[in-house]
Structure 1
Amino acid sequence: MLKNYNLILFFLLSALAFGQQKPDAKRIKITGKIFEKGTTLPLEYATVVFQDAKNPEKLNGTVTDLNGEFNFEVQSGTYNVRFEFISFKTVEFKNKTYNTNTDFGTIYLEADIAQLQGVELIAERSTVEIKLDKRVYNVGKDMMVKGGTVSDVLDNVPSVTVDPEGNVALRGNENVRILIDGKPSGLAGINIADALKLLPADAVEKVEVVTNPSARYDAEGSGGIINIILRKGKAQGLNGSFVASAGDPESYSGSASLNYRSDNFNLFSNTGYNYRTSLGNSLTNSTYFDNTGAVNNYIDERRNNERLNKGYNTNFGVELFIDKTTSWTNSLTVQNSRGENPDNVFFYNYDNARNATFTRNRFNDQRSKDFTFEYATNFTKNFKKEDHKLTIDMSFSENRENDNAIINDQILGDPSTAFTERTLNPQNQNRNLFQTDYVLPLGENSRFEAGYRGSFQKNLTDFDISALDAGGNWVRNDVYSNLLEYKENINAFYMQFGSKINKFSYFLGLRFEDSNIEVNSISANDYNTKNYNNFFPTATVNYEFSETSSMSLSYSKRINRPRGRFLNPFSTYSSRINIFRGNPDLNPAYTNSIDLGYLKRWNKVTFNTSAYVNITDDSFQFIRRESGLIADGVPVIESTPINLATELRAGFEFNINYSPFKWWKLNSNFNLFRNETKGDYRYINSVNTEVVQNFDNTATSWFTRISSKVTLPYKIDWQVNATYHAPENNAQGRRYDMTSVNLAFSKDVLKDKGTIALNVSDLFNTRKRRWETNLENITSYSEFQWRQRQINLSFTYRFNKKKNERENNRRDDGGGDDFVG
């Protein structure tokens, strides 16, 4: 409402000024900034009014942009000048003459407490903000994720998809870098997909999607960067919120966000507990052929999971305002969880005529523990000149995971075939991060940046499989057991320069990264050391056709380093005939990314489109092959990542935000992409024959998402999200299409201090990954559903702040790619 009010006033002022200007009058330039007093944060859409002192009906003026800045022209003369923003005290300069270009510097507006108490609706920011270089998704207004996890949040972000296993992709590319508060975090632990399922959605303030990052960011992630910004209080005094939820399948959660801010410090805390049940299932139907191509036998695999995760996470921090230009922030984060995953698998065996031969049952009772501790500190020094700044960041984290399982296996009806195995999988990760960034404005329209980042990481994973012998002793299985040590030391330096010339602006950067990687498979006595250093150039060019229309062209070189399960020879053992094996000898993949974007804003519509090309050398590809081992008379099939020669990915996408009425908001995302791979792979099959697989493949696919939010009578909000993934061919088979629909309702209560929300994730229970695989002697069809339909009811209570309280435009990401001259 506030935004529309100020825009309407701006257009009226502009129309009046245009109709009343004199052809021979001298035109002068008026510039300046409007900030909030006490926080030095910019006020977007604040109004600047120039009223002719002799003829009060003659008006001119403008509204401020995202950075609180204004810039316009008026006729020279005598004016009454006002700087206004709803719920803030107006600043006025009466009866002053302006004959030359005037810079008002920074105008500070003070919040009007009397007005605040009487205002019911204060500037509600869009759920999705589309900018030329990135998209910002504000979580606070989304009903879909109440009571959910960060994984649910990301699955609602434009251009981002989360598959049924929790793997995150950006524009269809899974090689994406995920940051928390602008940096790698110990919260991510060893498996980022698992970490995102543990963090509560209510801990997230917003998500930034950067498809072609500048040199300031890590070069990691060929698909781009997703930056998750956690909540930190900004309002003066004590304020906060509480959220409680319950769901089906049985789930409970509670979280609290508290903040106390004074002139000298800011205390903030986010604490949550969750008890979450997730029902899942999968199937694989395999047909085995002999060397003549005739059917040999069939195996149908059926799996059911009833995952349970319970745990807490807490974050506590303090920001000290040492003086008006210096702040020091310290925070502690602890996350502790326990999980259960009873995995019940049945293997139905048939002969070549589809007659049942035997059924094997494999019950994998898995238990897990996860503990993460992280300390982070930030020092920020702002110098006298605007945007002249030095920041220093350090963080130290440790993550400990322990996954153990007891496996009971036998052919039904034949007790003599019964055997028991166990898996022990303790994992430990230590990560230290040191970073400093320096920003130096040069003149009015240029900026220089430079910085250093040192990231030092060590992981130790001990995967042990043992079988229980007749004497009751555990005997280690050396075929599948492995002790893996991973060390990663990366030192990076960057510099970049940007400038703006009228409507044209550019940003040029260069990053240097020195990488020292050790992948040591200690059990196999296989030691791999990889030392390499690379330069990563970046460039962005923008042109503003008008205030509502602009275009950008950007380039960056990226790297994707293999980590975690990509490298670990073994990490799971729930199936004897379908296994996953990591590849310790994987090399990093390098990508050259080019992105052409266009942004256009109308009164009710924002349209953003881009065409992109990613060219990757030594790209990672998952293949399925015969391992050379035999179980129950059939070859054991393993899935493993390899380096292929080249991959070309090109695509086109667009995002639209449309508000046809005040009570109806729509936003949609469409992405069409073409993926071309080239390369050959050789391996030895179960009959000791070399198999050469040609991975030359060209596939075209697309996905789309649409979200509709409607305000019903009695102020009930109704939101629907629908997502569709089109099918896609690959070199070894085909991935089928997938559709999912989410639904949510919410109602404000207790004079807008509370909100009740009901959401349904995967309304029609259709969110299943389906694919087929065709190998030389085996074909299979598979389905996988990580989580079945989930229903959640949540209640949110806020104190000392209203539902739509204006969020200050504070940068919490330690900087970014925005450049304003």
Structure 2
Amino acid sequence: MKKCFLLAAIHFLLAFMSAPDAHAQSPAGDPSKGSSTISGMVLDSTAAKGIEFASVALFKLDNNQAVDGTTADETGKFSIVKVAPGDYKLLISFIGYKDKVIDRIHVEKGKDVALGNIGLASSVQNLQEVTVTGERSLVEEKVDRLVFNAEKDITSKGGDASDLLRKVPMLSVDLDGNVSLRGSANIRVLINNKPSTIIAANVADALKQIPADMIKSVEVITSPSAKYDAEGSGGIINIITKKNNLQGLTLNIDSGVGNRGTNLGLNGSYRKGKMGFTLGGFGRAFYNKAESVLDQTTYSGSNAFLTHQQSNAKDRGLFGQYSLGWDYDLGKNQALSAGLRYGTRNFIQKQNLAISQYENNALTEISDRKVNRKDLSGTVDFNIDYIRTFKPQQEWSISTLYSRTGLTNNFNTDLLNESGSVSSRLKNENKNHNQEVTIQTDYQTPLGKNQLIEFGAKGIFRTVDSDFQYLMAGEDGAFVFNPRQPSGALNYNQNVAAGYASYTLTTSNKYTIKAGTRYEYTGISADLGSEGKINIPDYGNLVPSINVSKSLSSSTTLKAAYNRRIQRPGIQQLNPNVNLSNPQSISTGNPALSPELTDNFELALSTNIKKTYLNVSAFARQTNNSITQVRMAIDTLQGAIVTTFENIGTQKAYGFNIFSNVYLTPKWTLNGSLDILHTYLEGQAVNAEGTSEMMSNSGFNYGGRLMSQISLQHGWGLQAFGFYRGKEIQLQGTRTGFYMYSLGFKKDLPNKKGSIGFGAENFLTKGVKFTSNLNSAQFTQTGSTQLYNRNFKITFNYAIGKMSFDAPKKKTKSVNNTDVMGGDGK
């Protein structure tokens, strides 16, 4: 079935590409309009060369009503046909150029109007290199998303994407790098509108592979339209990396050295005519240490079993990302692109663990362990994308993606005797693979002058497998199979077929309405190897969405939105491997998890008051069948607690967010946000008798961030940042909040060919400490962790090569898989 579908799509693509070019210069006109033609040629005013795909709009002069439009061909020529007699004006625009208006165009019946050459002035200034003269707003408000422009961030140099996301309105990032949007961790993260299996496997680790200073912007999509996959109950985060549309050859070197991390990046690009190449490589090494204390008590009848644990750990990690991109303009209205990316993650932790066990306050056992943990992965993504443009806003695209991730999660445990020598050894091997093959097609076309319709289809063919076993050291020291410990496999196949339709209407009284619906059918087959099949039924979901915005004035917009989202479990939640590295704190996945369904409501107001931008939003959501971490005690191992994932029941949340950006002076900005969230969770938990009973928990969470940046003379810049996240509400307790702060400055090199900078994080304290308090009828657990993340770093980057500005080509679209859960699923 999959093969037939792919072959049919390829034949369709070839047939469409070989069809005659559509008339790119003007949409079909109404014969009753008139018989005149308005024509001209759009040129770069400095290079005297045509600007391909420049947009040309025709307006009535008396009422400013749009009556027609077109795009220029590859030489810059355009023509608008069947124009009725009257007085008009033309608006000509293109990315990288200043808009130009040609006023008072008089058209007489039966007579054509030739405007000749029309020069557009570049919106960039050519000094010794290309430099953008305008100042982009830190935050931009769009119909269905908020855009955070990250290019001006100083302290992110040498950091990764998780460091940057802490500064984005409505987002929270914990110390492990797990991201939540308005309190929900069930979100989807895209990179340049593209998914990846490594994102699906672990969002936190994937973000460590992306250097912060290569991020151009972050889009927070709180109310995704029907065009997006239905997955991600909290919303979608789209990370846009820096690209260029310049002609020539460039090479950029980025590096940083610090006491907690070191990075080196090399990125190059080459463009000549219709073809362009990009090549990138980035590596980051980090090192940290942590100390933790954990006390947990389990109850069995009248007996209480206490476990006290102390540990110190040293973490080392090496993350890398390497990419090769290619794009080619097939013609004036067609483009083809391809990309290959490889990401690697190597995380190694060495931990010393001391465990003391008590029964009714009497010491029963003391053990010391050395645990070596390895989390290794390699991800390959390959995509081919094609787009064909017929006229402004009318286009068809087809996108394909192959993505495969290999994961290895192993640990070795050495049990020490009283003398400190090794008495026994245990090893867990857990290999996973996550593979996706995706094909999708999208079409959009305008209906009249103020309407747009979009529709498309998508197929995702996903395979996940896990193979795990425990080994023990034999008499000769070699590891052999351990029949007394759990072993097994998971084979999980998921096929998703989806279709959507979306309609956008803009009214004369400044309302914009975008409504649509999406249907997704999911078929699942799963088994546990020799243990047999898992009965997981297929399911279909209809997910509607509607976004309404109203321009109250030229600077104020009011928005309201509703959407329904689903959240499928990811590999971390499904993997049945039992982690026994700490025998008193065991973790495992649940391959029988079902998806959760969430209804989201949002109301937002954004406005500009003189030099201040303000955004206020309120939201509410309800999730049924919520996927949540749960903990329970087990009688077979006294004092131990098992952590797994369950569909607990209901989760409700409501709150609001306030964000503001103020230009204190043209060179000094101050921005900050405040988040307030109330969460209510209700679900089944195991009581002291070992049976399930209903339990609930609720509470408020507060958070905020503050950032200030000053641009000084002679290329100097200074930035300060502070972040706080309050306690997190969980079904069985709470986890306390934490704070982070940083200070950095940079100095641009002559001609802005590069910069050198210095940054410091948490420099007034030795690090961050946070605690957790969990309880049920079966157990109580308190823990605290001290991270020594005080960091000082020096950064350096330098650009080699000379570029000339040229018109950017029409870019192809790419596949967006946003339909599985990553991270810890909290």
- Name the CA shift for 1:392/1:85 in 2 (closer, same or farther; >3 Å): closer
Q: Per-residue deviation at 1:153?
A: 2.6
Measured against aligned partners, the alpha-carbon deviations of 1:696-734 in whole angstroms (never above 9, x if no partner) come to 222121211111112346542221221112224544222
Aligned to 1:746: 746
Aligned to 2:639: 635
Aligned to 2:529: 522
Aligned to 1:142: 153
SS class of match (2:284): strand
- Name the CA shift for 1:748/1:812 in 2 (closer, same or farther; >3 Å): farther
2:253 matched to 1:280?
Answer: no
Aligned to 1:169: 180
- Name the CA shift for 1:288/1:395 in 2 (closer, same or farther; >3 Å): closer
2:331 matched to 1:331?
Answer: no
Aligned to 1:457: 462
User: How well do the aligned residues superpose, as a CA RMSD in angstroms?
Assistant: 3.9
- Name the CA shift for 1:113/1:746 in 2 (closer, same or farther; >3 Å): closer
The equivalent position to 1:668 in structure 2, one of 657, 665, 672, is: 672
Percent of aligned positions that are identical: 26
Counterpart residue type for residue 743 of structure 1: L
Counterpart residue type for residue 597 of structure 2: Y
Native 8 Å contact 1:337 1:371 kept in 2: yes
Q: Per-residue deviation at 1:319?
A: 0.9
User: For structure 1, which segment, 170-179 or 342-351, has the greater mean C-alpha deviation from structure 2 after superposition?
Assistant: 342-351
Native 8 Å contact 1:721 1:742 kept in 2: yes
Aligned mates of 1:406, 1:797 — CA distance in 2: 43
The equivalent position to 1:343 in structure 2, one of 337, 351, 354, is: 351
Q: Per-residue deviation at 1:151?
A: 2.3
Aligned mates of 1:356, 1:754 — CA distance in 2: 62
Aligned mates of 1:387, 1:379 — CA distance in 2: 16
Q: Per-residue deviation at 1:812?
A: 8.1
Q: Per-residue deviation at 1:313?
A: 2.1
Q: Per-residue deviation at 1:210?
A: 0.2
TM value normalised by structure 1: 0.82
- Name the CA shift for 1:797/1:522 in 2 (closer, same or farther; >3 Å): same
SS class of match (1:257): strand
The equivalent position to 2:311 in structure 1, one of 303, 314, 331, is: 303
SS class of match (2:282): strand
TM value normalised by structure 2: 0.82
SS class of match (1:553): strand
Aligned to 1:133: 144
User: Which runs of 5 or more structure 2 residues have no equivalent in the other structure?
Assistant: 1-39, 65-70, 73-85, 817-826
SS class of match (1:183): coil
Aligned to 1:179: 190
2:589 matched to 1:578?
Answer: no
Aligned to 2:452: 447
2:328 matched to 1:320?
Answer: yes
Aligned to 1:468: 473
Q: Per-residue deviation at 1:290?
A: 6.5
Q: Per-residue deviation at 1:280?
A: 3.2
Native 8 Å contact 1:285 1:301 kept in 2: yes
Measured against aligned partners, the alpha-carbon deviations of 1:493-520 in whole angstroms (never above 9, x if no partner) come to 0011111111112111010101012332
Measured against aligned partners, the alpha-carbon deviations of 1:266-316 in whole angstroms (never above 9, x if no partner) come to 2222211233223334321234566458xx564321222222223532111
The equivalent position to 1:270 in structure 2, one of 280, 293, 297, is: 280
Q: How does 1:21-100 map to 2 (within 5 A)?
A: none
- Name the CA shift for 1:137/1:421 in 2 (closer, same or farther; >3 Å): same
Aligned mates of 2:776, 2:609 — CA distance in 1: 52
- Name the CA shift for 1:40/1:574 in 2 (closer, same or farther; >3 Å): farther
Measured against aligned partners, the alpha-carbon deviations of 1:756-811 in whole angstroms (never above 9, x if no partner) come to 12223344355444211123353221124567233321101124579xx9998988
Q: How does 1:322-401 map to 2 (within 5 A)?
A: 322-349=330-357, 359-383=366-390, 385-401=391-407
Aligned to 2:598: 591
Aligned mates of 2:543, 2:123 — CA distance in 1: 49
Aligned mates of 1:362, 1:780 — CA distance in 2: 21
The equivalent position to 1:658 in structure 2, one of 642, 658, 662, is: 662
- Name the CA shift for 1:169/1:35 in 2 (closer, same or farther; >3 Å): farther
2:215 matched to 1:204?
Answer: yes
Aligned mates of 1:571, 1:790 — CA distance in 2: 35
Aligned mates of 1:292, 1:317 — CA distance in 2: 65
Native 8 Å contact 2:249 2:802 kept in 1: no
Measured against aligned partners, the alpha-carbon deviations of 1:35-94 in whole angstroms (never above 9, x if no partner) come to 988665889xxxx9x9xxxxxxxxx9xxxxxx99xxxxxxxx999999899996996869
Q: Per-residue deviation at 1:169?
A: 0.6
- Name the CA shift for 1:86/1:642 in 2 (closer, same or farther; >3 Å): closer
Aligned mates of 1:281, 1:106 — CA distance in 2: 70
Q: Per-residue deviation at 1:736?
A: 1.8
Counterpart residue type for residue 232 of structure 2: G
The equivalent position to 1:541 in structure 2, one of 541, 548, 554, is: 548
Native 8 Å contact 1:345 1:363 kept in 2: yes
Aligned mates of 2:101, 2:516 — CA distance in 1: 43
SS class of match (1:635): coil
Q: How does 1:590-739 map to 2 (within 5 A)?
A: 590-630=597-637, 634-682=638-686, 689-712=689-712, 714-739=714-739
Measured against aligned partners, the alpha-carbon deviations of 1:88-125 in whole angstroms (never above 9, x if no partner) come to 6996869977999x999997625499844488661232
Native 8 Å contact 1:187 1:374 kept in 2: no
Measured against aligned partners, the alpha-carbon deviations of 1:324-364 in whole angstroms (never above 9, x if no partner) come to 211100111122343422222122446766x8765421211
Measured against aligned partners, the alpha-carbon deviations of 1:509-551 in whole angstroms (never above 9, x if no partner) come to 0101010123322254352333011111111111111111111
Aligned mates of 2:358, 2:569 — CA distance in 1: 39
Native 8 Å contact 1:229 1:812 kept in 2: no
Measured against aligned partners, the alpha-carbon deviations of 1:616-648 in whole angstroms (never above 9, x if no partner) come to 111122222103331xxx321011221122221
Aligned mates of 2:674, 2:183 — CA distance in 1: 11
Structure number with higher relative contact order (C-alpha < 8 Å, ≥ 6 residues apart): 2
SS class of match (2:593): coil
SS class of match (2:229): coil
Aligned to 2:412: 406
The equivalent position to 1:231 in structure 2, one of 221, 226, 242, is: 242
- Name the CA shift for 1:370/1:698 in 2 (closer, same or farther; >3 Å): closer
Aligned mates of 1:346, 1:97 — CA distance in 2: 88
Q: Per-residue deviation at 1:190?
A: 2.7
Measured against aligned partners, the alpha-carbon deviations of 1:191-216 in whole angstroms (never above 9, x if no partner) come to 23222222333443322110110000
SS class of match (1:426): strand
2:135 matched to 1:124?
Answer: yes
Native 8 Å contact 1:457 1:489 kept in 2: yes
The equivalent position to 2:505 in structure 1, one of 486, 499, 508, is: 499
SS class of match (2:246): coil
Native 8 Å contact 1:207 1:227 kept in 2: yes
Q: How does 1:101-112 map to 2 (within 5 A)?
A: 109=120, 111=122
Counterpart residue type for residue 468 of structure 2: F
2:493 matched to 1:487?
Answer: yes
- Name the CA shift for 1:643/1:809 in 2 (closer, same or farther; >3 Å): farther
Aligned mates of 1:224, 1:114 — CA distance in 2: 38
Aligned to 1:253: 263
Aligned mates of 1:33, 1:580 — CA distance in 2: 67
Native 8 Å contact 1:42 1:809 kept in 2: no
Measured against aligned partners, the alpha-carbon deviations of 1:673-717 in whole angstroms (never above 9, x if no partner) come to 11122233346x6xxx32444322221212111111123465422
User: For structure 1, which segment, 425-434 or 297-306, has the greater mean C-alpha deviation from structure 2 after superposition?
Assistant: 297-306
SS class of match (2:163): helix
Aligned mates of 1:613, 1:807 — CA distance in 2: 43
Aligned to 1:152: 163
Q: Per-residue deviation at 1:564?
A: 1.2
- Name the CA shift for 1:717/1:359 in 2 (closer, same or farther; >3 Å): farther
Native 8 Å contact 1:87 1:119 kept in 2: no
Counterpart residue type for residue 759 of structure 1: G
Counterpart residue type for residue 219 of structure 1: A
Q: Per-residue deviation at 1:254?
A: 1.2
